[in-house]
């Protein structure tokens, strides 16, 4: 493997380094202090019954019910705890920027296969990070302990030169043409707010706690998605239908419950059925059950080859094609349909991608453009999402025929995910979607007073309330973020 | 795994429960005579036996609902059971409880080839789903070795894996919806026909919950297109650590094989005379490695795996030339448990998962324990995902051997925790590993799990006493440990 495996800590008997990249060097004592501070804030809030709003990068503030409570920032608890590429597992702290995690994985040609949307600023691969080498501060502690092993710090990685997510405009040009210039990537290093950003909490990714535990912004920075927010929001991107969702990749979490207790569930291994799967329960729980301190995720290798095709077709035909392909052994890793245009991404071994591309037909899209296109779908910067009407997320059975709802749609996940820009009434939408065996979420904008998520049946609502009560008896974590009644 | 003393059946309670169930169930669906309930006294972990007070054999969801409501009203605990193939005693009956056998709930309700799903009753056998889906070119991916017998309901309860789960995931990754009944008889629709559902991920919470949260009455599983081709490779090594390193090298090369299994020398020697799979008897470790997908994918992956194996020091490599040979390569691995069973009166199968990089150390330590406990152990290993199955060979008729086996197993599990792993990768905690739960989790974590159960089942009537130990039990176990001088984790809290 030689190349790219830059020696270092010996993990067990293999010679691979456990840890490949760590963000700001934070001494263990300081990290423990951060946990103590967070736990103290939680205990105090519980005693006073003061609502707390858990914030990572604040990039998903738009998602879910109204924001209530005093901010409890996870940003000071950051850094990769352990990453051994050959174990296919990464463990990182909640405040770690998602971009940093993805960067560390990319260095080892691996990825978060669920392609989580950031909905914030992502350092551009076109503008590589400046890596400052800092001599090792502390060797990897070999003694096993419950708390995260201290990291080895061989590389101090700082993120420089953020660029905004680009709206590439009308994408999916069949490009026999030369590549259009990408002005945004070159011209602008100035961040512009991501859709839905409100701006009342900035600089989360560089916040630090001072000795008194106050949040101090180290520098005015852009909002960057964090690992904690990614797991808590539970959102997955274009690869979801093929690879699985966040919850499918969560192997373990460390969390603070509503009494400030430091709890570990799951682990750092691929298979683990000891006890209830509380770690997966945390995925998508919107911070209502506890504060995620650390998460261990399964990672996968980057595909060797990728190709994007596009086909002109009507909605019904696109749905038929996507469902037909999904029943064949084809390496399809993403689909997106809008404006009578179906995008299909193939990933895997080179020969397999080529063979599948022949079989599927359509027009091949240039690699750069294809990358921007899928990024636009994942980050919702595609032109489709610029429509001013509220955005609904409809999760349905993939074979559901075209939904008879007013507005414009973008279809992903082989037909199982339908985005809808509409002014239609919530009740109409929810009823239509429920008939299709699914559920509707008011994703962005619109009137949230009628609830953001599909109402639960009475027996499930009761279980939800009891689970909430058991993890957060004082009801302080993100009240109303998921359902109005807890 | 020392057999517990049987709780005598309370005859008054028995009469009361059986009479209540007989008001709506036919005679043949309510068993309580000793000779009728005796076959249910254990599951796949036969060291633990307990005759149930009553066995109920419902044939539809309505009957299950009435059984649960009746038991709830009488405060009689209920243990659900599928085929009883579980290896951790998760379906061990209670002497004061109803054993709810779901074996008659065996209808495949719907196969939707376009949506690639199958909706089945919990008593449907794992393999039966793939058989029913085969005409559509589809199959159900998780394939526990007991798949000809085990039921999908049991698979959900245990979050079962199999030899292909590195690439295709566990049960939790392959089900989309559950219909279940709470102990109060309320219908719970968990998951959806889409790829996610509103609210908390109760589908994940239910999967692997060992029948302690609700009783599953319908499972909708995901079906996958059958790969057009699969090919298998055997690679022999003269050292287990080298074989472990080869596994790491394959992953590092960006390959996720469909199957990646390891067997050590004792396992190879137990298997080869039994199935004649053609395994090399001089190897210290054998890797079985499979690629599947399109012709192009398989060809490329096999070529790359071949290169990595050679570079990792494989002493011999063999690639299956046809389907018959591929199946023969697998036959040995799949027959490992019965093959070991042939050379010893009894064996005890462990199920820890470890970070793969520690496999050399763990196997060496296990070899040390063989001497310490004077017992032989063969190791089969789902190497791709770090799930180790040491098979400790013993004679159950010799109580001293049984005790040594138990101590041997406990030490292996604690070693797994020590290197950063877990006590159970796919077999579940059940009753068997309940003490080791006290080592893996803190009192506060166990308490949190008890509260999760309470959210579903506040009177603790569903499979009580399994999977999550009471703190009282842990306190007793902790003292036991101090006594026997095995305090190996001074940094772990004890209670």
For residue A22, is pLDDT > 60?
no
Contacts with A460 (C-beta within 8 Å, 6 or more apart), sequence order = B188, B189, B190, B199, B202
Q: Do B112 and A399 touch (CB under 8 A)?
A: yes
Answer yes or no: do A395 and B194 touch at CB < 8 A.
yes
Looking only at the bridges linking them, the beta strands covering B98-101 and B54-56 are parallel
Q: Which residues contact B405 (CB under 8 A, 6 or more apart)?
A: B1, B348, B373, B375, B392, B394
Q: How far is CA A435 from CA A429, A440, B191, in A?
A: 10, 11, 15
Question: Which chain B residue shows the shortest CA-CA distance from A452?
Answer: B198
The DSSP annotation for A183-233 comes to HHHHH--S--PPTT---SS--GGGEEE-TT--EEESS------BHHHHHHH
User: pLDDT > 90: what percent of chain A?
Assistant: 72
| Chain B positions in Cβ-Cβ contact with residue A87 (cut-off 8 Å) | 251, 355-357, 386
Residues of B in contact with A270 (CB under 8 A): 165-166, 353, 384-387, 425
> Would an 8 Å CB–CB cutoff place A408 in contact with chain B?
no
**Percentages helix, strand, coil for chain A, rounded to the nearest 5?**
25, 20, 50
Distance from C-alpha of B57 to C-alpha of B80, rounded to nearest angstrom: 10
Instruction: For chain A, say whether B88 makes contact (Cβ under 8 Å).
Output: no
Please judge whether B225 and A326 are an interchain contact, meaning their C-beta atoms are less than 8 angstroms apart.
Answer: yes
What pLDDT, on a 0 to 100 scale, did the predictor assign at position A456? 97
Contact A300, A309 (CB under 8 A): no
CA B113 to chain centre: 28
Rounded Cα distance, B400 and A150, in Å: 43
Distance CA A287, CA A64 (A): 11
Residue B298, C-beta contacts closer than 8 angstroms, at least 6 positions apart: B227, B229, B230, B231, B291, B292
pLDDT in tens, A65-105: 999 999 999 999 999 999 999 999 999 999 999 999 999 99
Give tens-digit pLDDT for A317-350. 999 999 999 999 999 999 999 999 999 999 999 9
Question: What sign for the dihedral angle of Cα B112, B117, B122, B125?
Answer: positive
pLDDT surpassing 90 at residue A140:
no
Rounded to the nearest angstrom, the minimum Cα separation between A414 and chain B is 10
Distance CA A257, CA A289 (A): 7
Q: How far apart are CA B283 and CA B275, in angstroms?
A: 17
Residues 6+ apart with CB under 8 A from B472: none
Q: Which chain A residue has its CA at the smallest distance from B208's CA?
A: A273
A–B CB contacts, 8 A cutoff, strictly below: 310
Confirm or reject contact between A186 and chain B (CB < 8 A): no
Q: Which residue of B has its CA nearest to A250?
A: B204
CB contact (8 A) between residue A87 and residue B193:
no
Q: How many residues does chain A have?
A: 486
Cβ distance B492 to A466 less than 8 Å, yes or no, reads no
Among B188, B198, B248, whose Cβ lies nearest the Cβ of A14?
A: B248
Q: Examine the pLDDT at A268 and tell me if it is beyond 80.
A: yes
Closest to B258 in 3D by CA, of B329, B179, B210: B329
Nearest chain A residue to B222 by CA distance is: A327
Please list the pLDDT of chain B residue by residue as tens digits (495 residues): 555 568 888 899 999 999 999 999 999 999 999 999 999 999 998 889 999 999 999 999 999 999 999 999 999 999 999 999 999 999 999 999 999 999 999 999 999 999 999 999 999 999 999 999 999 999 999 999 889 999 999 999 999 998 899 999 999 999 999 999 999 999 999 999 999 999 999 999 999 999 999 999 999 999 999 999 999 999 999 999 999 999 999 999 999 999 999 999 999 999 999 899 999 999 999 999 999 998 989 999 999 999 999 999 999 999 999 999 999 999 899 889 889 999 999 999 999 999 988 998 999 999 999 999 999 999 999 999 999 999 999 998 999 999 999 999 999 999 999 999 999 999 999 999 999 999 999 999 999 999 999 999 999 999 999 999 999 999 888 633 222 223 333 333 323
* Residues in A touching B361 (Cβ below 8 Å): 12-13
């Amino acid at each position: 493997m030689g190349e790219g495996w830059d020696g270092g800590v010996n993990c067990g008997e293999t010679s691979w380094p456990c840890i490949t990249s760590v963000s700001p060097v934070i001494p263990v004592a300081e990290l423990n202090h951060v946990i103590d501070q967070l736990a103290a804030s939680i205990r105090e809030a519980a005693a006073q019954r003061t609502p707390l709003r858990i914030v990572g990068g604040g990039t998903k503030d738009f998602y879910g019910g109204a924001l209530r409570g005093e901010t409890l920032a996870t940003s000071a608890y950051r850094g990769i705890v352990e990453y051994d590429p050959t174990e296919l597992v990464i463990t990182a702290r909640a405040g770690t920027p998602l971009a940093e995690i993805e960067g560390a994985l990319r260095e080892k040609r691996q990825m978060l296969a669920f392609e989580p949307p950031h909905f914030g600023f992502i350092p551009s691969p076109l503008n590589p990070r400046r890596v400052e080498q800092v001599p090792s501060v502390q060797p990897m502690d070999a003694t096993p302990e419950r708390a995260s092993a201290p990291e080895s710090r061989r590389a101090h990685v700082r993120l420089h030169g953020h660029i905004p997510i680009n709206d590439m405009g009308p994408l999916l040009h069949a490009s026999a043409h030369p590549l259009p210039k990408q002005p945004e990537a070159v011209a602008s290093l100035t961040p512009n707010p991501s859709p839905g950003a409100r701006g009342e909490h900035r600089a989360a990714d560089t916040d630090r706690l001072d000795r008194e535990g106050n949040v101090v912004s180290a520098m005015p920075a852009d909002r960057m998605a964090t690992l904690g927010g990614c797991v808590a929001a539970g959102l997955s991107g274009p690869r979801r239908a093929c690879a699985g969702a966040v919850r499918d990749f969560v192997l373990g979490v460390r969390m603070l419950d509503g009494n400030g207790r430091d709890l570990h569930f799951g682990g750092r291994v691929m298979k683990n059925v000891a006890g209830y799967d509380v770690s997966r329960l945390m995925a998508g729980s919107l911070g209502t059950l506890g504060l995620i301190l650390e998460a261990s995720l399964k990672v996968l290798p980057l595909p060797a080859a990728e190709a994007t095709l596009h086909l002109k077709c009507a909605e019904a035909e696109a749905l038929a094609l996507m469902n037909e392909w999904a029943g064949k052994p084809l390496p399809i890793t993403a689909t997106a349909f809008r404006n009578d245009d179906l995008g299909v991404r193939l990933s895997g071994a080179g020969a397999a991608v080529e063979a599948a591309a022949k079989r599927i037909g359509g027009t091949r899209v240039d690699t750069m453009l294809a990358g921007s296109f899928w990024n636009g779908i994942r980050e919702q910067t595609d032109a489709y999402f610029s429509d001013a009407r509220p955005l609904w997320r409809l999760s349905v059975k993939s074979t559901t025929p075209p939904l008879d709802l007013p507005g414009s749609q973008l279809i992903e996940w082989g037909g199982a995910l339908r985005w809808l820009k509409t002014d239609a009434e919530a009740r109409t939408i929810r009823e239509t979607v429920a008939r299709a065996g699914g559920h509707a979420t008011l994703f962005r904008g619109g009137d949230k007073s009628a609830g953001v998520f599909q109402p639960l049946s009475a027996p499930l609502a009761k279980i939800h309330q009891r689970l909430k009560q058991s993890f957060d008896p004082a009801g302080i974590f993100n009240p109303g973020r998921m359902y109005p009644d807890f | 795994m020392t057999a517990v003393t049987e709780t005598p059946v309370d005859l008054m309670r028995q009469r009361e429960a059986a009479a209540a169930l007989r008001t709506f169930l036919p005679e043949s669906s309510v068993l309580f005579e000793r000779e009728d309930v005796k076959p249910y006294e254990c599951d796949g972990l036969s060291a633990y036996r307990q005759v149930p007070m009553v066995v109920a054999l419902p044939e539809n969801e309505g009957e299950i609902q009435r059984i649960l409501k009746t038991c709830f009203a009488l405060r009689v605990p209920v243990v659900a059971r599928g085929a009883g193939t579980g290896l951790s005693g998760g379906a061990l009956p209670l002497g004061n409880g109803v054993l709810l056998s779901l074996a008659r709930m065996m209808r495949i309700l719907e196969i939707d080839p376009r949506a690639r799903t199958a909706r089945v009753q919990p008593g449907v056998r794992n393999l039966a789903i793939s058989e029913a889906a085969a005409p559509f070119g589809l199959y159900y991916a998780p394939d526990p070795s007991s798949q000809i017998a085990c039921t999908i309901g049991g698979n959900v309860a245990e979050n079962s894996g199999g030899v292909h789960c590195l690439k295709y995931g566990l049960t939790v990754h392959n089900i989309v919806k559950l219909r279940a009944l709470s102990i109060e008889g309320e219908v719970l629709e968990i998951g959806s026909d889409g790829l996610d559902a509103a609210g908390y991920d109760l589908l994940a919470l239910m999967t692997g919950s060992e029948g302690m949260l609700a009783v599953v009455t319908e499972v909708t599983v995901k079906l996958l297109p059958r790969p057009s081709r699969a090919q298998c490779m055997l690679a022999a090594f003269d050292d287990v650590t080298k074989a472990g390193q080869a596994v790491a090298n394959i992953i590092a090369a960006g390959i996720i094989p469909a199957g990646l299994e390891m067997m050590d020398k004792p396992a190879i020697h137990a298997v080869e005379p039994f199935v004649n799979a053609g395994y090399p008897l001089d190897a210290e470790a054998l890797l079985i490695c499979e690629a599947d997908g399109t012709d192009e994918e398989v060809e490329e992956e096999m070529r790359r795996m071949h290169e990595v194996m050679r570079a990792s020091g494989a002493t011999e490599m063999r690639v299956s030339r046809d389907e018959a040979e591929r199946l023969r390569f697998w036959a040995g691995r799949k027959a490992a448990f019965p093959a070991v069973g042939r050379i010893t009166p009894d064996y005890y199968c462990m199920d820890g998962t470890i970070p793969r990089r520690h496999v050399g150390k763990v196997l060496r330590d296990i070899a040390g324990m063989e001497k310490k406990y004077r017992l032989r152990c063969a190791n089969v290993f789902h190497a791709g995902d770090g799930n180790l199955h040491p098979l400790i060979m013993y004679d159950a008729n010799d109580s001293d051997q049984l005790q040594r086996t138990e101590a041997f197993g406990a030490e292996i599990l604690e070693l797994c925790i020590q290197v950063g792993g877990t006590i159970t990768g796919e077999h579940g905690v059940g009753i068997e590993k309940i003490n080791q739960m006290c080592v893996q989790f803190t009192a506060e974590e166990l308490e949190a799990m008890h509260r999760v159960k309470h959210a579903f089942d506040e009177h603790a009537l569903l499979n009580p006493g399994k999977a999550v130990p009471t703190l009282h039990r842990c306190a007793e176990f902790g003292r036991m440990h101090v006594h026997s001088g095995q305090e190996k984790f001074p940094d772990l809290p004890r209670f």
